[in-house]
Structure 1
Amino acid sequence: MMLLGKFIPPVLSLKKLSTPGARRHFWGWLNAIFNKVDYERIRTVGPDRAASEWLLRCGALVRFQGYDKWQHDYNGLPTGPLGKYKIQAIDATESCIMYQGFDYLDGLKHVEEIKLSNCIYIQDECLKRISKTKSLQDSLLRLTIISCGNVTDKGIVALHKLRNLEYLFLSDLPGISKKETTVQILKKSMPSLELDLDLE
């Protein structure tokens, strides 16, 4: 690009954008935008609607209380009186949800089930955030965590604060290195928990 006789190089050429590192950086930046919390939106439409928009924007699915159908289309979210649709289940399989967006979980009082599968941005801090969310401590009954490579024993142990959790399924979590110790901590703090493991 020429400007007043000076050459100004492009910020990022198409050739550079085609490299794996550049693509990862671009998608990481875009996913961070998707996860930015809009607190004004939460106040305007309520926590369930705002969280639904966040989850679908990031590629997750939601199911509302009293409905069998999973919502997967952002533009197909049902309309109606504010507060009518309450999130009962979240399937975040292969979604780009990340810690930055987890403030959307505050105020969700009806979530009974969460599935985190192949979520590259899920890490220990995300699980700690789930376990510290008061509304989820009361409502969450079932949690599935599969193939989330950044999850370690610390994140799993933090789940002991989910006092009403009835079922926990863990599979393909290479970051768990102290399986026996972690399981014993969970069993001691959550004696009624059904723990289903598929870990090496």
Structure 2
Amino acid sequence: MMLLQKIPQQLCGLKKFPWSCDSRYFWGWLNAVFNKVDYERIKDVGPNRAASEWLLRCGATVRYHGQEKWQKDYNHLPTGPLDKYKIQAIDATDSCIMHIGFDHLEGLEHVEKIRLCKCHYIEDDCLQRLSQLENLQKSLLELEIISCGNVTDRGILALCHLR
């Protein structure tokens, strides 16, 4: 019984940490961890599988070429030959994807649609990086950017390299 009384007091002590004043610092740090690129993983499983893992880990969904169903659950990623599942569409609505994770998009050659809706961490640098990816310059047909408050005119202008 004494232990149960001490736990809440110990948890109350967490209020003294810097991120408790504004939880954005904590979540920003945690989301940066989810966005970190593991280049060895990309080499091991290929760009489509690694990008799928990144996107799903951050709360986005993907649709593979030749399939109508959206992949939403990280724990149910398809298995089989690594070259079988090519990402065709990305819906990053309300996800925590951010600039440091965009290297995951390198090597994706079949992405036709990307939807960025209410993505709090999407900034001008993200769109700049997106426009620099030659593979997306060739395959991307549709890009939606909706209610991404950190995107300015500079970010939109950076997309001029996309067709």
* Equivalent AA in structure 1 for residue 134 of structure 2: K
Q: CA deviation at 1:16?
A: 3.4
1:109-124 to structure 2, matched below 5 A, reads 109-124=109-124
Higher CA-based Rg: 1
Partner Cα separation in structure 2 for residue 96 and residue 13 of structure 1: 28
Partner Cα separation in structure 1 for residue 113 and residue 83 of structure 2: 19
Scaled by the length of structure 2, what TM-score is found? Answer: 0.89
Is contact 2:14–2:20 with CA below 8 Å preserved after alignment?
Answer: no
Q: CA deviation at 1:40?
A: 0.2
Correspondence for 1:139: 139
Q: CA deviation at 1:20?
A: 4.4
Structure 1: 5+ residue stretches without partners:
1-9, 164-200
Correspondence for 1:45: 45
Correspondence for 2:20: 19
Structure 2: 5+ residue stretches without partners:
1-9
Structure with the bigger percentage of helix: 2
Q: CA deviation at 1:60?
A: 0.3
Structure with the bigger percentage of strand: 1
Q: Detail structure 1 runs of 4+ shifted over 2 Å in the superposition.
A: 12-20
Correspondence for 1:55: 55
1:80-99 to structure 2, matched below 5 A, reads 80-99=80-99
Scaled by the length of structure 1, what TM-score is found? Answer: 0.73
1:18-61 CA distances to partner (integer Å, 9 max, x unpaired)?
8341x211111110000000000000000000000000000000
- Does residue 153 (structure 1) correspond to residue 153 (structure 2)? The answer is yes
Partner Cα separation in structure 2 for residue 160 and residue 87 of structure 1: 23
